[in-house]
Structure formats: structure tokens, C-alpha cells
Structure 1
Amino acid sequence: MTHRPIDATRSAQPGDGIDPWDRMRAHTLARIGLRRAGDTLATPEVLALNASHALARDAVRTPLDVAAVRAALTELELGAPVHVTSAAADRDQYLRRPDLGRMPSGPLEFGSSGADLALVVCDGLSATAVTDHAAGLCAALSEAFAPDYSLAPPVIATQARVALGDHIGRTLGVRAVLVVIGERPGLSVTDSLGIYLTYAPQPGRADSERNCVSNIRPPHGLGYTDAATVARDLIDQMFHAGRSGVSIKPRASSAPLPSRPPGIPSDSESA
């Protein structure tokens, strides 16, 4: 939908054809000041709403291009990415049965990695978000944690919910897992990624035992580097406190990343 150009130096006057909401629409993706035709929405508003609804459905329903994501993650040189699936047989079952998306489809065919952290990239509820942003975000995370934390070879999980990362993290033997997942789309945003961080991952972890960095979708949301900075800060605190969850609060900005803080041992130091 095209907005009429306006002169920002003067106020709108009745009858001059200038929509006073245009100034505010320029600063948000929210639907504000919707134009009307009599007692209903104007046709352009209805068409725009229908288009946004279709994009949200596409984000949920479109299968993840695993080969493309694997190729992008391979370039990070963290090891060959592994693909796993949840116990949900297809997308319909995934949407109806969230519990199946939290469990692997069978035994996980990899062993302990000996690494500090695992990166698990999940399609979640928006393969669009993963396709658009996962590679850039994982590159920023890899840079943020090096060289102070070691990362296991990345895992790609499909038909996956956040808690599937607990099974993967336990099998890899890591101290914390970072689940990069497509967030539920809305009518304004369909490509938002989240990072869910869990210390000492194991099946049965409650949501209150996790931390989350959300709305990662530059240029309209959080940028990759800023998100990685917050994730690094959270991991530093988790390793120091020996836990994750509601008691751990983000405190990071986009300032340069510090080295591993004193008192936080590596796996080799704590063995």
C-alpha cells in the first residue's frame, strides 16, 4: 500500500487530503489509524490484512530448506551439521501435538561432543525466519563465543519445539544449549527468530529454567550482533551461577565482548 507524501513541516488541515496518521505509520509496522469506507475498513486495508494473513500462514506451513541451512552452517567451520527430526510425523501433527515436537523421533545418533555449548537451529513456527536470519545469527554467535567457549557441531531440527534442544544438549554433553528457533508469526511480523538458552539441558526442564532473546530480525528488530552480545552475557552469568532461568537477567549492550570472566571454568578446568 502506497502512502501519500506529506510535508512534515506543517500540520494537517481538515480537507487538505493529508492523512495525519502517516507520520506515525512511518515509525511502526503496527496497524494504526486504519482507513475506513463508511462503517467498514477501506478496500486497501482489507487487502493488506489478507496478504499479511497469507504470509503468516506461509511462514508456518512452508517446509524448512534443510540443505540450504546446512550449507550455510557448514561455512562456520564448527563441524558437519547434523539433521534430526521430532516425533511429529508431519506439519499437521506438529501443530496439533506440541508435545511431539518436544521429543526426538528416535535415538539421537551422535555422542558427547566435549564442548561447552550447542547450537540447535529449529524451524519452529516460522521456517521463513530461519531461512532469512539463522545463518547470520549463528555466525554472530560463533564470533561472540570464540575463543572462550567451545561449540559442538551445529544441529538442525525440523518439526521442532524448544524443548527438543534439551534432548540434543544432553546427548551432546554440553553445559548449555542455545536453541535458535522461528517464532510464531503475526500479522505484522513473519520472520522473527528467538534464542532460548538453557543451562545443564535435560528433558523435563521447565520454561522458567530458560532465558530468551527474541525479535531477532534486522533491520526492523534486534540485529545479529546485538542478539549475540546479549546471549554471550547470559551464558557468562549462567556459567558463573550454575543455572539459567528467571533469576538470570540480561544486562548486556552492544559494547565490545569481554573475555571469559574470572571464576568461570572451562570444561577441562572443571573436570
Structure 2
Amino acid sequence: MDTSDIRTDPRRDLSKDPWSALRGATAARIGLGRTGDAMPLDAVLDFQHAHARARDAVHAPLDLDALAADIAPLDTVRVRSEATDRSIYLRRPDLGRRLGMEGAQALAAMPKGADLVFVVADGLSATAVAVHAAPLVHAAMERLGDLRTGPVVLATQARVALGDDIGARLGAGMVAVLIGERPGLSVAESLGVYLTHGPKCGRRDSERNCISNIHGKGGLGYAAAADKLAWLVREAKRRGLTGVDLKDDMPALPASTHLLAST
């Protein structure tokens, strides 16, 4: 039996990579190869870079001034959870679900009874919010212009459930929380939307509808996400509920609407 290493076989055409077509179809790290008993240096550096970007996305502060400017001319109001800094936010998820005193005072002076309130929350990726939240809000508003919407609430150190507290204080029929999703090693700036009918403290995750994976690297585009959100909002208003009892029976969208475009 020939026990020679095929990696040194002169008959092997090293210019042909059998994994290249598959790598083009997925963000997963496949067919990385090896150098001796380790991965090639390029693959190691790429992994370390992705890990650093994910950590940066978690710890980066959200630029509220820039975000408010991007959301304009829509009115905005700023609030913060009871987590006073990022370290506490990461260690105490419960505090990220409760509104801080200054935020409660700000909301007390706002108009009540909107059909829908948008909450834009930093979550675990302020990078995702900075890039994707404003275009998605504008795209959604184009489709929901007949509904009564309150000012967009910009929330920092926020978890999804903070929207329940905010929505309840504003007497909103529904709350849509746009939040930075936990970054991974393939995408660090993915945005999620959580829609809750009849927001109040103590709502369970099963009482929400989620639209996830909104980003520019093969994720859901703004138009497709806004179409889906508008459909869910209207169905939630008609049926008086969200969550597991509100199935996503929306007709399939053309493939072109999944491109990351604001219109």
C-alpha cells in the first residue's frame, strides 16, 4: 500500500479547491485545510478577527445623537434601563428589563394610547442598531402610515422585555422592539424585531412574534422585514394577540425583496 501523504503527492492539483463552491454558499467555516496539525494562519486570523468584532459589537456604546438624526423627522425620546452601565447590563439581565427612573419620568409626559410604539434598543449589538434600525423604522412607517404611532423610544442597556414596560406606560396597543441580536462569528451586526400585543410587565417570550436575521450579509432585507412586520401588526390588531397563536401565514415574498434595500 502506498502510504505517501496526498498533500505532497506531485500528481495532486493544488490549484483546484473542492471546497470553494461550498464555501460560497454558506457563512460556516468549512474546508479550512490545515498546516501540519493546525489550521492555516489565514483561517486562524480570520477566526480571531471575527471573535474580536463580536466582542466589540457587544461592548460598543450606541451613538444616540447619530441614531436620532437618522430616524428624523420622526420624534424620538431617550430612556435607559435600571442597568447603569454595560458591565451591570451583561451580569444582570433582570435590570435590563426594567425602566430607569429618568426614563419613566420622560414617558409620563408623552401622549398615550398609540396603536404601535417602536422601541429601538441597543441589546447585544449596538453596531446592528446603528446600521440597520433607522432604515427599517422608515420602511415600516411607510407601510403603517394609517396607524397611530408614538415617538420612537431609544433605549440603552435594554433587553427585549423592556419594551413591555415602555409600552404599558404609554398605553400602547402594541410595541415593536428593534434590538441588536447576540453577535456570532459570521455576523456581528444582526438586528431582530419583537412584536408584542398588549404590552405589560411579565409578558412571556411565547407572547411575542420575532423577525430575526436582518443584516447585509445574506440576511433579511429592510423591505422584506418591513413587509413582514406590517403584516404581523395588522393581524395582531385584528385578532388581538401575538405570539405562538399568531402564525406567520403571510404569502411568500419575491426573492428580490430579500435584498438589503430600504425601499
TM-score calculated relative to the size of structure 2: 0.87
Does 1:93 find its partner at 2:88? yes
- Report if aligned partners of 2:111, 2:150 keep a CA contact under 8 Å in 1: no
2-structure distance, mates of 1:216, 1:227: 7
Match of 1:121 in 2: 120
1-structure distance, mates of 2:176, 2:68: 17
Once the two structures are overlaid, the 10-residue window that deviates more, 165-174 or 178-187, is: 165-174
The offset of 1:72, in angstroms, is: 1.1
Residue among 98, 106, 109 paired with 2:106: 109
Which amino acid counterpart does residue 132 of structure 2 have in structure 1?
H
List alignment gaps of at least 5 residues for structure 1: 1-12, 256-271
- The SS at the match of 1:211 is strand
2-structure distance, mates of 1:185, 1:52: 10
Which amino acid counterpart does residue 120 of structure 1 have in structure 2?
V
- The SS at the match of 2:139 is helix
Match of 1:136 in 2: 135
Does 1:17 find its partner at 2:15? yes
The offset of 1:105, in angstroms, is: 1.2
Give the direction of change, closer, same or farther, for the CA distance of 1:173–1:229 in structure 2 (3 Å limit).
same
The offset of 1:114, in angstroms, is: 2.9
Residue among 150, 155, 180 paired with 1:157: 155
2-structure distance, mates of 1:92, 1:254: 41
The offset of 1:15, in angstroms, is: 2.4
Does 1:188 find its partner at 2:186? yes
Deviations 1:129-166 (A, max 9, x none): 0011111111111111112x121110000000000001
- Report if aligned partners of 2:196, 2:207 keep a CA contact under 8 Å in 1: yes
- Report if aligned partners of 1:87, 1:104 keep a CA contact under 8 Å in 2: yes
The offset of 1:113, in angstroms, is: 2.9
1-structure distance, mates of 2:78, 2:106: 10
Once the two structures are overlaid, the 10-residue window that deviates more, 30-39 or 106-115, is: 106-115
Which ranges of 4 or more aligned residues in structure 1 deviate by more than 6 Å?
none
Does 1:203 find its partner at 2:201? yes
The offset of 1:219, in angstroms, is: 5.0
Match of 1:37 in 2: 35
Match of 1:212 in 2: 210
Residues paired across the two proteins, number: 239
Match of 2:3 in 1: none
- Report if aligned partners of 2:187, 2:217 keep a CA contact under 8 Å in 1: no
- Report if aligned partners of 1:112, 1:171 keep a CA contact under 8 Å in 2: no
The offset of 1:176, in angstroms, is: 0.3
TM-score calculated relative to the size of structure 1: 0.85
Deviations 1:1-51 (A, max 9, x none): xxxxxxxxxxxx942421111111112221111121122111111100000
User: Among the aligned pairs, what percent are the same residue?
Assistant: 49
The offset of 1:218, in angstroms, is: 2.9
- The SS at the match of 2:112 is coil
Match of 1:168 in 2: 166
1-structure distance, mates of 2:127, 2:196: 24
- Report if aligned partners of 1:181, 1:193 keep a CA contact under 8 Å in 2: yes
Match of 2:63 in 1: 65
Residue among 226, 232, 238 paired with 2:230: 232
The offset of 1:104, in angstroms, is: 0.8
- The SS at the match of 2:196 is strand
2-structure distance, mates of 1:16, 1:86: 56
Residue among 52, 76, 79 paired with 1:84: 79
